[in-house]
Amino acid sequence: MKRKIYSPPRIATWRSRKLYHPNIKPLPKLKGWFKLLLILFLGGLLSLIITFWWVNKDLPTPEGITRRLVPQSTKIYDRTGKVILYDIHGEVRRTIVELSAIPESLKQATLVAEDRNFYQHKGFRFTSMIRSLIINLLKGGKVQGGSTITQQFIKNAIFTNEKLYSRKIKEIILAYQIEKKFTKDEILRLYFNEIPYGSNAYGAEAASQVFFGKSVSDLNLAESAILAAIPKAPTYYSPWGSNIEELIGRQHYILDEMVKEKYITETQAEEAKKYKLTFIPRRENIIAPHFVFFIKQQLADRYGEKIVEQGGLKVISTLDLEFQAIAEEAIKTSAEKNLSYNATNAALVALDVKTNQILAMVGSRDYFNDEIAGQVNIATRPRQPGSSFKPVVYAAAFAKGYLPETLLFDVVTTFKTNTKDYTPHNYDNKEHGIVSLRQSLAGSLNIPAVKLLYLTGLDKVLDLANQLGYTTLKDRSRFGLSLVLGGAEVKLLEHTNMYATLAREGKTATPISILKVEDSNGNILEENKEITYQSVIDQEVARQVIDILSDNQARSFIFGSTNYLTLTDRPVAAKTGTTNDYRDAWTLGFTPQIAAGVWVGNSDNKEMKRGADGSVVAAPIWHAFMEKVLQNKPIENFIKPQPKTIDKPMLGGQLYGEEVLIDKLTGKLATEFTPPSLIEKKRLKQYHTILHYLNKDDPIGSTPPDLNDPQYQNWELAVHNWAVANNLINEQPPSTYDDVHTAENKPTVYFLEPINNQTVTTNPFTLQVSASSKRGIKKVIYLMDKQIIGESTTYPFSYNFTVTDEWVNGYHSLTAQVYDDVYNNSSSTININLLINPLPSPYKINWLSPTANSIIKANDNLTIEFTINQPKLITKIDLFDKQEDGTTKWIGVIENPTQQQLSISWSPPLGYHSLIALLRDQTGITKTSTPLIFNAQ
């Protein structure tokens, strides 16, 4: 009998959880997310292995670490591509020294500056790299590096400065290999003989010889800290560059960190900070040095120091050699005169308005003059702009709704602030009373400018400044109401760019200095063919600012009509600026083609002599430059802004406050019964701050004034004190109403002859009314079809009217207007039917000027001219004006004319007008002319 072997049923899936052995438990099921993570992990691991293999296959061995590429010089050209401004020589300055020749102070300073954990890590630090990656991602670009000294050595010895993550991986692998192959001291030796210090100096020994004229072993602590500061950005921190203050600041930082690391004492650090550094002068064949090194810094930021020094780039710049020569000559010519004001330095920047290309850049009076810190490029250094910053504030104000016609009180005023009270004064220490914003900006008045900044809002001004490209105004906590007077630093290049933005009617862009860059093989790395502008100022607002800055008459009350802010036969907009302590003097201006800015002062920020303001020391340079560069260019005009009208006191240019309607006869408030011809609109002479009439946050809206505004009381007090000092008293409105022109005093009138709808068959015919009034009747004026045909001033106020051939038979309206002695009036109108033989008119009036239906200027002196055919028969000609509201006003009279052509002067108010002439002959018959209709605008 065969033994039966037990065979359990086949299990199709683990999901049944049924097992056929009591000691066997089911395997746990794999969840979907776990499978996915496993796949991703394995895939990532495989990718990492492949990536490391790929980047590692072409790496040099540590033994081949000293191989070098053949360096080629980079050349920077002018805008024609024909003249070399500067040849960045490819020949490398390098002297190999042992680590023992490197002083301990330089080693320690370098470790503190670049890699203080050098002796602890294995060639790279993941924590620093991750932190750098996160910061760079948050900042939107390469802001912070995370490289060790080993990585820096590799990057400079083997790789280019390309910003690729594959290069970073290669760098990490080779750093690890080098750390295994060499000792830390050997790596440090390689670093000190390889690292670039700028100006083709590679290694500490070459740098020490180039900058200090001594061997590296002879460096003291102060000099060592300087060399340690340079490798972070060799072009930017170059001792021959324009950022000496930043270099010294980084030196001080390194010395302080050496104290923290206990390398030196605080006393040693302070002594090193006080040590007077002496750098070897730089003498090279170079044109426009400040502009060249401005470009070199941009190239270093984009392509790296090594590529710029040895990569053989061909750089076509925007520099116009003719403009540059004119700029340098203008500064040189004014130098001796400016020295009498203790002004040793000057700078100039010129931009092409159409392309925003930098045409000229002079960063100092003499680049090679160490006594004036000539290497410092003032064009890119923050300096206080004085009143030349005011156009930014006025542009923001106009955008908010204020107008060039807006009035402010230029009277000494104390402003309440969160810290302490602030009382600005004008440059001439005078008060100018009520001034428009046009006068205020053109005359560079300080007090109204500070008021306008408050009315506009500091944040709105800084928002606009940010859009205009200013990079020095980011920390808003630093600024207050003095901002409008130049109480913050700006760069000449950025400031000139703001004026170029105005010239483009509000369109801005970053100034361009490079047209094209080619590599050593002729491949184009970058090319600026077109520029994209951003509109940051409304076109009309820009035109308003330009219109003021180009209005020489508006500024003449301060600067005189003859000044350096005008050009021969050419419109130009310009503004000066001077700091209160005479440390900085500016002039900036533009035509539609060129914008230029000039700064004058001292590089060390010493004060100039009193009187060295922008119009005296900077404007002559600006004027000489602009006259010369524009002499062969066509004249281009600015476009005028559209006029705007706002009916608000002060805001719209109305000098005084409340408007009231006055009865001219009584001087009391007009009523509904006051005759329109006697009503006078009058603005009361009331002297109040603009805050009394509007809400600063809604100047053109309907929001009521905020009389609790923190500045209101002080502004009102200043206006009150000024008014009292000038014997000006606030005029109050009348307290009573017109009590002469009342309903009870209105005359009554009705026709006696003819009667309503009567057919008139006689010629002439009689017009007579019955009229009465409490004050008596002064006169009755008769009209037919609304045209005056005659009047009567004696009882019974009848009038014989002769119908001439100018009237046709048929129905007409007759009106009698009755007046008492104070012009209370009533009227009565009837209809008549003429059925007569009209007589020929003995008098013909022919209107000569103005012509019928013409448009003339309102409130201008107008000469009315006409002819009459038989002047000797006329005793009197009265001219009347019938206005749009139906009122008739007497213009004037000509008595006993002796010639046919006659004239009379008159200033017509705004609106449509209908002129008529009422003639009276020797027999007492009156004749009304045909009307002359025209429009006054």
Q: Helix (H, G, I), strand (E, B), or coil: what is residue 393?
A: helix
In this structure, are residues 349 and 493 in contact, taking their beta carbons and an 8 Å threshold?
A: yes
Asked whether 667 and 733 are in contact (CB, 8 A), the reply is no
What DSSP element (H or E) covers 496?
helix 492-503
Catalytic residue check, 205: no
Kindly list the distances between the CA atom of residue 92 and the CA atoms of 152, 192, 194, 215, 235, in Å, as whole numbers in the listed order: 18, 15, 11, 17, 16
Residue among 92, 78, 552 nearest 323 (CA): 78
Active-site residue, from 114, 194, 257, 791: 114
**DSSP for 511-562, written as a single string:** PB-EEEEE-TTS-EEEE------EE-S-HHHHHHHHHHHT-HHHHHHHH-SS
Q: Say how far apart CA 564 and CA 589 lie, in whole Å.
A: 11
CA distance 510 to 493: 10
Q: Given 364, 387, 388, 440, which residue is catalytic?
A: 387
Residue indicated by tokens 């000449």:
492
Helix or strand (DSSP H, E) at 398? helix 390-400
Kind plus residue range of the DSSP H or E element containing 167: helix 165-181
Q: What is the DSSP letter of 570?
A: B
DSSP string, 689-748: -GGGTS-TTSTTSSPPP-TT-TTHHHHHHHHHHHHHHTT--PPPPPSSB--SS-TTT--E
Nearest CA to 109 out of 254, 206, 277 is that of: 254
Q: Is 387 a catalytic residue?
A: yes
With both helix axes pointing from N to C terminus, report the angle between 458-467 and 390-400 in degrees, rounded to the nearest 10: 110
**Measured distance CA(868)–CA(920) in Å, rounded:** 13
Residue 683 CB coordination number (10 Å): 14
Place of tokens 């001033």: 793
- The answer to whether 914 touches 783, Cβ cutoff 8 Å, is no
Question: Which H or E run contains 902?
Answer: strand 901-906
Residues 6+ away with beta carbon under 8 Å from 200: 88, 89, 90, 91, 92, 93, 309
- Alpha-carbon distance of 460 to 397, in angstroms, equals 9
The distance of Cα 295 from the centroid of its chain, to the nearest Å, equals 26
Positions marked catalytic = 114, 387
